[in-house]
């Protein structure tokens, strides 16, 4: 029997696990010593070993033949074909005719190498990743407010000692259940249009109209100031810009906010009283606040509220964002995001370019500039000026992108689509070349969880068949494109050592972190700079901002924000709001969890939650199929009656494929700063599927 300590392959909690293999069977149990999950796992974590030998696991490269079908091929054949076509496309159309799309589940080493590969081996600016759909709005707002973006600037365990916690647009009871053990003590205030399991556990549930979270945050700030709850000493000593922010919030008196949001004034006042009256309090935001065309401003408004109450940068209180994907934090720090270089350096900064170029051994002027954001990259594929080839690592945009039908068509129209994955996802099914890669229990590396803690992923098993690491794939293509083999190493530890140098001096400084320190059990949160010669190693920074914020003057910045409507609101043709989200049994696009029998049985297909009165008015019956339509298309879902839902709102999970894709209807309106799509609100109509078919509706 073999056993290793590692971490769950799913969300950003990165729960500690002990993974064992005996007599051909892999088993998992929680690591009681790991502070984040403290011996707990969710349903997904307990069933994670089923992914390792799931039916249909990719074990050999696949190449699409003249008959249009994917067929097994050797690695040399597949990589030669990829490199040859890439060279031809680049020669005929330029370097930006090739794009790269990464994922927030890739290890730090893979994310780092992918960004380097795109900018050095391919010379393209066209790289982004699915983390753009996750917490880019919070990243933009947090960076502006604090000078630094780390999901939680404090350890998860600090939450347990809080007296009150406000959760805006987060449902951890389903999305990351082990977090709830840290929220059992504080009084919870939950802001969500749905009465989720998290809202059921709350002391107070505010249920706004979808798309009005920003107005609600302005109203809460208004009450905090007018009722004497602002921490004036903190505002004077630790912040700047309050007066401009207050001028905006001053116009959002409680009665006006109630008319816009539907949240009673009494509930708003109770929320402020709970937060302001707590000795230790936190404001946390999630995707529900972020995934809007005004998501950055919405998160900024909640940060404004936290600053007004004097929470950020105080031990025992603060603001944080609940990162979603497994390496959503580390995934954007190391260069696979369109505008960033390793160490959270900005690509447009000449000093940042010079530093990273020196580590890579290239001319800074040879590095391309910032490229398109994730949705804009996908939407440009195959069109004039957009990439004609795309390499996808660790993502399934055919299901996860807004306007999914259009994006799938664009993927299918490419001159070359290459997908590296370990299961045949819906995007892989469209590919010209599919490359089988390792997954969590078959590889070494590091991950960074939502609290900025750098963790070791450890290998237990050899990969099946001919599957290779993503690092091997990048090396193989880069060498065929004429790169020095030493520039793209395949050993994760070697890549991490280079990552340390590239990040040194950056906002996300990993230079003082080593595999030796991690393997010795040290809890290391970035920034963790390398210590001067002869000095003790830097201990890492579990709690940020206690002495100063990361701006040059040490002050946090208020944002001057104003509420505006969602890009799309209901009308006579599409009279309901639709919002999307996750369910307990599934993760992201469902490409992994839909293959686990226990999880598939728990949530077998798409559904639409709707209030019974609304359903009766529309002729919908519980358990019967319905068609949910927007101006972009329609999706099929089973009706689920939910009396606690708003009568003007329906909810769909986004984990399902085919005609049940929720993202067939979602809006691609983008936040002007974060470029986040507006997943959380669009206008729809819902009708019985039979009636819709009779009327000629199509998905």
Model confidence pLDDT, tens digit, residues 154-208:
999 999 999 999 999 999 999 999 999 999 999 999 999 999 999 999 999 999 9
What are the CB-based long-range contacts (under 8 Å, 24+) for 157-160? 157/35, 157/36, 157/182, 158/316, 158/318, 158/543, 159/183, 159/186, 159/282, 160/184, 160/185, 160/186
SS3 356: helix
| Longest CA span, the chain | 78
Q: Helices 213-226 and 295-308: crossing angle, nearest 10°?
A: 20
Strand runs labelled E in 484-632: 524-525, 556-557, 576-581, 607-610, 625-630
pLDDT at 696: 57
Q: Write the CATH number of the domain with boundaries 62-133+327-490.
A: 3.40.50.740
Q: What 3-state DSSP class applies to 414?
A: coil
Question: What are the backbone angles phi and psi of residue 389, rounded to the nearest 5°?
Answer: -135, 145
| Helix or strand run (H / E) with residue 649 | strand 649-653
**pLDDT at position 698 over 50:** no
Strand partners, 191: 168, 206
Find how far residue 537's CA is from the centre of its chain: 32
Report how far residue 484's alpha carbon sits from residue 493's, in angstroms, rounded to the nearest whole number: 19
Q: Is 142 helix (H, G, I), strand (E, B) or coil?
A: helix
| CA gap 656, 661 in Å, rounded | 5
Q: If you average pLDDT over every residue of the chain, what do you get?
A: 96
Residue range(s) occupied by CATH 2.40.40.20 in the chain: 576-694
The whole-angstrom distance between residue 597's C-alpha and the CA centroid of its chain comes to: 25
* pLDDT at residue 695, rounded to an integer: 59
Q: Residue 123, SS3?
A: coil
pLDDT number for residue 664: 98
Q: State the pLDDT at residue 699.
A: 42
647 alpha carbon, distance to own chain's centre: 29
Least-confidence region, from 196-210, 299-313, 321-335, 575-589: 321-335
CATH number for 2-51: choose from 2.20.25.90, 1.10.357.10, 3.10.200.10, 3.40.50.300.
2.20.25.90
Is there a contact between 499 and 342 (Cβ–Cβ < 8 Å)?
A: yes
One DSSP character per residue, 468-490 reads: B-HHHHHHHHHHHTT--GGGS--
Q: Kindly write down the DSSP assignment for every residue of 25-50, as one continuous string.
A: EEEEEE-TT-TTTTT---HHHHTGGG
Portions of the chain given CATH number 2.20.25.90: 2-51
Cα–Cα distance for residue pair 425/605, rounded to 1 Å: 16
∠ CA(11), CA(680), CA(626), 5° rounding? 100
Rounded distance, CA 230 to CA 219, Å?
A: 14
Q: What value, to the nearest 5°, has the Cα angle with vertex 290 and ends 572 and 608? A: 45
Percent of the chain residues past pLDDT 90, beyond the cut: 97
Per-residue pLDDT band at 692 (split at 50, 70, 90): low
What was the pLDDT predicted at 169? 97
Residue bearing tokens 């470029």: 675
* Domain span(s) for CATH 3.40.50.740 in the chain: 62-133+327-490
Tokens matching residue 676? 């986040």
> In this predicted model, what pLDDT tens digit does every residue of 195-237 receive, in sequence order?
999 999 999 999 999 999 999 999 999 999 999 999 999 999 9
Contact 571, 684 (CB under 8 A): no
CATH class of the structural domain 576-694: mainly beta
Assess contact for 105 and 134: CB atoms under 8 A: no
| The two three-digit tokens of residue 379, written as one number | 């939407």
Residue 697 has pLDDT above 60, yes or no: no
Average pLDDT for residues 302-321, to the nearest whole number?
Answer: 98
Token pair 């002050």: residue: 555
Question: For residues 496 and 113, what is the distance between their CA atoms, to the nearest angstrom?
Answer: 10
pLDDT at 1 over 80: no
CATH 3.40.228.10 fits 136-321, yes or no: yes
Alpha carbons 563 and 568: distance in angstroms, whole number: 14
Confidence of residue 385 (pLDDT cuts 50, 70, 90): confident
**Distance in angstroms (rounded) separating the CA atoms of residues 612 and 601:** 25
User: Region 249-273: what's the mean pLDDT?
Assistant: 98
Strand arrangement, sheet containing 164-168: 204-206, 187-191, 164-168, 281-285, 318-321
**Cβ 632 vs Cβ 625: under 8 Å:** no
Quick check: bond before 527 cis, omega within 30?
A: yes
pLDDT of 324: 85
Q: Using one digit for the tens of pLDDT, what is the confidence trace for 101-127?
A: 999 999 999 999 999 999 999 999 999
Q: Is residue 127 within 8 Å of residue 99, measured between CB atoms?
A: yes
Residue 212 is predicted with a pLDDT of 98
Sorted by sequence, the CB contacts under 8 Å of residue 152 that are 6+ apart come out as: 320, 321, 322, 323, 450, 451, 452
Q: Strand, helix or coil at 420?
A: strand
For the four alpha carbons of 315, 319, 325 and 331, in that order, the dihedral sign comes to negative
Is the pLDDT reported for residue 87 higher than 80? yes
Confidence grade of residue 280 (pLDDT, cut at 50, 70, 90): very high
Mean pLDDT of 11-25: 95
């Amino acid at each position: 029997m073999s056993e290793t300590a590692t971490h769950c392959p799913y969300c950003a909690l990165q729960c500690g696990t002990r993974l064992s293999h005996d007599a051909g069977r892999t088993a998992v149990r929680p690591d009681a010593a790991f502070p984040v999950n403290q011996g707990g796992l969710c349903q997904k974590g307990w069933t994670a070993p089923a992914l390792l030998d799931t039916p249909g696991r990719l074990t050999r490269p696949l190449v699409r033949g003249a008959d249009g079908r994917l067929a097994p091929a050797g690695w040399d054949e597949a990589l030669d074909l990829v490199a040859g076509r890439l060279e031809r496309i680049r020669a005929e159309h330029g370097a930006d005719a090739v794009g790269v799309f990464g994922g927030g589940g890739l290890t730090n080493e893979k994310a780092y190498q992918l960004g380097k590969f795109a900018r050095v081996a391919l010379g393209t600016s066209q790289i982004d990743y699915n983390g753009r759909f996750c917490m880019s709005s919070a990243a933009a707002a947090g960076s502006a407010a604090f000078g630094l973006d780390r999901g939680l600037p404090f350890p998860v365990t600090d939450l347990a000692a809080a007296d009150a916690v406000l959760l805006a647009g987060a449902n951890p009871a389903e999305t990351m259940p082990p977090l709830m053990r840290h929220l059992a003590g504080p009084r919870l205030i939950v802001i969500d249009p749905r009465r989720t399991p998290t809202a059921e556990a709350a002391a107070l549930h505010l249920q706004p109209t979808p798309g009005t979270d920003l107005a609600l945050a302005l109203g809460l700030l208004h009450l905090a100031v007018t009722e004497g709850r602002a921490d004036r000493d903190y505002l004077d000593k630790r912040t700047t810009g309050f007066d401009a922010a207050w001028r905006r919030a001053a116009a959002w008196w409680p009665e006006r906010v109630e008319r816009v949001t539907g949240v009673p004034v009494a509930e708003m006042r109770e929320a402020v009283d709970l937060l302001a009256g707590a000795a230790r309090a936190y404001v946390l935001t999630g995707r529900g606040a972020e995934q809007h065309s005004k998501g950055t401003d919405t998160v900024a408004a909640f940060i404004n509220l936290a600053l007004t109450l004097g929470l950020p940068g105080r031990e025992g209180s603060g603001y944080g964002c609940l990162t979603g994907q497994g390496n959503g934090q580390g995934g954007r720090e190391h260069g696979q995001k369109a505008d960033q270089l390793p160490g959270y350096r900005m690509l447009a900064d000449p000093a940042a370019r010079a530093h990273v170029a020196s580590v890579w051994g290239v001319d800074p002027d040879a590095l391309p500039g910032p490229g398109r954001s994730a949705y804009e990259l996908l939407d440009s594929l195959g069109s004039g000026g957009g990439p004609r080839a795309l390499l996808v690592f660790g993502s399934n945009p055919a299901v996860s992108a807004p306007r999914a039908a259009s994006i799938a068509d664009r993927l299918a129209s490419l001159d070359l689509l290459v997908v590296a994955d370990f299961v045949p996802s819906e995007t892989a099914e469209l590919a010209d070349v599919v490359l089988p890669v390792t997954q969590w229990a078959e590889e070494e590396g590091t991950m960074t969880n939502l609290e900025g803690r750098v963790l070791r992923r450890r290998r237990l098993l050899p990969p099946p068949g001919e599957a290779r690491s993503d690092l091997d794939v990048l090396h193989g293509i880069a060498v065929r494109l004429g790169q020095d083999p030493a520039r793209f190493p395949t050993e994760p530890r070697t890549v991490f050592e280079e990552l340390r140098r590239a990040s040194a001096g950056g906002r996300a400084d990993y230079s003082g972190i080593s595999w030796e320190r991690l393997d010795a059990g040290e809890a290391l949160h970035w920034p963790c700079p390398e210590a001067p010669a002869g000095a003790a190693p830097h201990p890492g920074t579990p709690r940020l901002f206690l002495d100063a914020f990361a701006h040059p003057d040490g002050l946090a910045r208020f944002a001057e924000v104003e509420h505006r409507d969602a890009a799309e609101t209901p009308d006579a043709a599409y009279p309901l709001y639709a919002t999307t989200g996750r369910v307990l049994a599934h993760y992201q696009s469902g490409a992994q969890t839909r293959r686990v029998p226990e999880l598939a049985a728990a949530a077998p297909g798409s559904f639409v939650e709707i209030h019974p009165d609304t359903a009766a008015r529309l002729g919908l019956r519980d358990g019967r199929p319905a068609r949910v339509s927007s101006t972009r298309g329609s999706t099929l879902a089973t009706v689920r009656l939910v009396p606690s839902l708003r009568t003007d709102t329906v909810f769909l999970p986004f984990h399902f494929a085919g005609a049940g894709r929720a993202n067939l209807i979602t809006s691609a309106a983008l936040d002007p700063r974060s470029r986040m799509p507006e997943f959380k609100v669009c206008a729809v109509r819902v009708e019985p599927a039979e009636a819709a078919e009779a009327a000629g509706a199509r998905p």
